[in-house]
Amino acid sequence: MQLCAIQMSSNTSVEDNIADIELQLASLEQAQQQLVLLPECCLFFGGKDKAQLALARENQATNELKGRLGKLASKYNVFLVAGSIPVLSDQQEKFTNSCFVFSPEGTELGGYDKIHLFDVAVQDSEKNYFESRYAKAGDHISVVKVNGINVGLTICYDLRFPELFRQLCQQGAKIITVPSAFTRVTGAAHWQTLLQARAIENQVYIVAAGQEGVHFNGRETWGHSMIISPWGEILTQLDTGKGIICADYQEQELDKVRKAMPVATHNRFKNKLMSYE
Ligand SMILES: O=C(O)CNC(=O)[C@H](CS)NC(=O)CCC(=O)C(=O)O
């Protein structure tokens, strides 16, 4: 199987964003089966204040956004990991920032609600990010079987919490997806290092798709989408601009790395905090 990540510069027009996704999907060669990751907030990004909540409300009855993502998966014959869209939560004042996985038949294989919300002060024009103001945090982890391979789902700020990645791997993940909208400032400082660390310490493929550019509300995102091997090698990357990158998933490579350096077996902090012997 091939792993692919689409880098986007999403705006507040769902139609524009879908057209951008289609442009990239149409460029794929169909020689192999592909898993394609879209960034966080792929269908709508950079709106003001309550715009995402409004979209989640609008979409609640029809579920149109999910329907259209499923159609993209079937039209282009790919496993689509659709970064994230806002989904109205039962608590009507908030939405979950949710990732969905679709099969090439367009059926939903699974999903994940972002657990760690970005309530953070950053030295940029935005200054204070306050995601939990309108978003509700998820409360369970998610591993989805994609083409027979276990894929662990995370979103953006989750990247900073190694315990999540560790648990996904303990549940069998061999690929972890990281759809993102990292800020330019924190991205430049930490993005690549965090991605490589998560790949190396867990010996998994990491597929990371970013938003990139300056968005409608002035937000600046870092891009630098990349696919990383279980050895920590960057197999392919796209620094700036829109585009698609792909690399082969090689299960033998993953097995080789895990066999030569069996850190999962050597780990003495597996299920409980062990005291030093
Ligand atoms: O709010 C939206 O419109 C969409 N969501 C995002 O852009 C989210 C929450 S504000 N961004 C991040 O998680 C950035 C993490 C990051 O940059 C880091 O960990 O350094």
Full pLDDT tens readout for the chain, 277 residues? 999 999 999 999 999 999 999 999 999 988 899 999 999 999 999 999 899 999 999 999 999 999 999 999 999 999 999 999 999 998 789 999 999 999 999 999 999 999 999 999 999 988 899 999 999 999 999 999 999 999 999 999 999 999 999 999 999 999 999 999 999 999 999 999 999 999 999 999 999 999 999 998 999 999 999 999 999 999 999 999 999 999 999 999 999 999 999 999 999 987 665 555 4
Atom 6 of ligand 1 has which residue's CA nearest to it?
181
| Whole-number pLDDT of residue 277 | 45
The residue ranges of every structural domain in the chain are 2-265
Name, in order, each residue with C-beta under 8 angstroms of 77's C-beta and a sequence gap of 6 or more: 30, 104
State the distance between the two ends of the chain, measured CA to CA, in whole angstroms: 43
| CATH of segment(s) 2-265 | 3.60.110.10
**Inter-residue contact 69 to 83 (CB < 8 Å):** no
pTM for the predicted model, two decimal places: 0.96
Q: Read off the tokens for 175.
A: 């690929």
Contacts of 262 (CB under 8 A, 6+ apart): none
Smallest CA separation from ligand 1 atom 4, residue: 41
> What is the distance between the alpha carbons of residues 265 and 110, in angstroms, rounded to a whole number?
29
User: How far, in Å, is the centroid of ligand 1 from the Cα of 122?
Assistant: 11
How remote is the CA of residue 68 from the centroid of ligand 1, in Å?
24
